[in-house]
Structure 1
Amino acid sequence: MKQTDTNSIRYPQEIDEKMEKLAKNLSRSKKELFCQMVDYFYRSKKDPADPGDEVLKKELSAGVNRIISFIRQQEKDFLLPLFTDAASLKTASSKQKELLEGIAKLLLAEREKTLSLIEKTDRLLAGMKIIATRQAEKDTLKQCFSELLEYYIVQREEMSWTTTTQKKDELAAHIRKSLKNL
């Protein structure tokens, strides 16, 4: 049986103490922790001697640049057309508002004219009612006058040349009185 753990590394006592603490905190053996550390630095290509970790900074910067370019692309594709459309809608809305205000003014003017026409029509109807009433009165007067005239003619015909003047005067007085009462 061949042993796979053939290499050894020498390091100071302080490092061993640090490694011991790390291994306890992570619940691993020192050998396992060392293998994982080597594996980590191999995969991440980080330099343990570099406290600023320039590779990480470059990766973060590249990630930030990708995010910024994505946001700029989204801005070009969505936000700018949206702002342009919003400006067009605002312009159209203001034109529509002006048109609606003009229509409102015209409607108010037409309302005033309509109210004036209604008032004049009401006065005209009242006048026509008065005329119709007077026409009815006129027709009634004509009828009464016609009856009086007929009565006078009949009474006059019944009188002869021998009728007294007093009867003739009574007839005339009766007809005059009837005419006054009309």
Structure 2
Amino acid sequence: MENLNAIKYTKVTGDKLQKISLALGRSKRTVFAQMVDYFYRNKKDPVDLNDELLKIVLAKGHKSYMAFIRAQEDLLLVPIKQGVDKMITNQRDIVKFFNEQVLGANKTLVQNQEVFLKTAQDNDRLIKLIAQKMESRDSLKFKMLQILNAYIKAREELGTFKTREKEELAELTRKQIESL
């Protein structure tokens, strides 16, 4: 059997040890042995709450993390940032080209459409004017035909010897034609 030594401690310390052992789920003897091993291996002084060794270990860990982050920054982050910057520059160039080319073409297209619309409106007005002229031409033909028929009828009724009345009839017919 093992050589066992006994340590005497106060009731308060015993209660604290009991709480620690219950929290860890181990016996008090096991917890005590593990505490001794911990302080022996780490060379820590349990009285020193600001343990300098702990600070040194933490500082070394912090330095190693910072060195790792700096290495990753050089290996990954800087090239990624350069690539992203280049991509942003290319995107700006593409947008600038798009604005210059496509928007310029759209403006030209809109101007051409406006010119086409104006031409179409002018053509529409011209067609309507031609249609009116054709209607007035037909109306003019009809009126001219009526005047001519009236002239022929009146002349036949006058006979052959009334020269002065024939001239008056011709003058009246000319005035009717001029008024058209």
TM-score exceeds 0.5: yes
Decide which moves more: 64-73 or 83-92: 64-73
Structure 2 CA distance for partners of 1:154 and 1:34, relative to 1, 3 Å: closer
Contact kept? 1:41, 1:47, Cα under 8 Å? yes
Q: How big is each residue's C-alpha offset from its partner over 1:100-137, in whole Å with a ceiling of 9 and x where there is no partner? A: 33233443354345334433442343234223312331
Q: Once the two structures are aligned, what percentage of the paired residues are identical? A: 27
CA distance in 1, matches of 2:113, 2:82: 44
Equivalent in the alignment of 1:13: none
Q: 2:13 pairs with 19, 22, 33, which one?
A: 22
Structure 2 CA distance for partners of 1:48 and 1:145, relative to 1, 3 Å: closer
Equivalent in the alignment of 1:96: 94
List alignment gaps of at least 5 residues for structure 2. Answer: 22-27
Q: Which residue type is aligned with residue 179 of structure 1?
A: I
Q: Which residue type is aligned with residue 137 of structure 2?
A: K
Equivalent in the alignment of 1:144: 143
What is the CA-CA distance between 1:94 and the residue it aligns to?
1.2
Q: Which residue type is aligned with residue 115 of structure 1?
A: E
In the TM superposition, 1:121-136 aligns within 5 A as: 121-136=120-135
Are 1:115 and 2:111 counterparts?
no
CA distance in 2, matches of 1:166, 1:125: 52
What is the CA-CA distance between 1:77 and the residue it aligns to?
5.5
Equivalent in the alignment of 2:25: none
Contact kept? 2:39, 2:45, Cα under 8 Å? no
Equivalent in the alignment of 2:62: 64
Equivalent in the alignment of 1:46: 42
Structure 2 CA distance for partners of 1:34 and 1:90, relative to 1, 3 Å: closer
Equivalent in the alignment of 1:84: 82
List alignment gaps of at least 5 residues for structure 1. Answer: 10-15
- Runs (4+) of structure 1 exceeding 6 A deviation are none
CA distance in 2, matches of 1:148, 1:24: 141
What is the CA-CA distance between 1:6 and the residue it aligns to?
5.0
What is the CA-CA distance between 1:60 and the residue it aligns to?
2.9
What is the CA-CA distance between 1:57 and the residue it aligns to?
4.5
What is the CA-CA distance between 1:91 and the residue it aligns to?
0.9
What is the CA-CA distance between 1:25 and the residue it aligns to?
1.9
Are 1:175 and 2:173 counterparts?
yes
Q: How big is each residue's C-alpha offset from its partner over 1:40-90, in whole Å with a ceiling of 9 and x where there is no partner? A: 334xx1224595453x45543443344334434543565334323321231
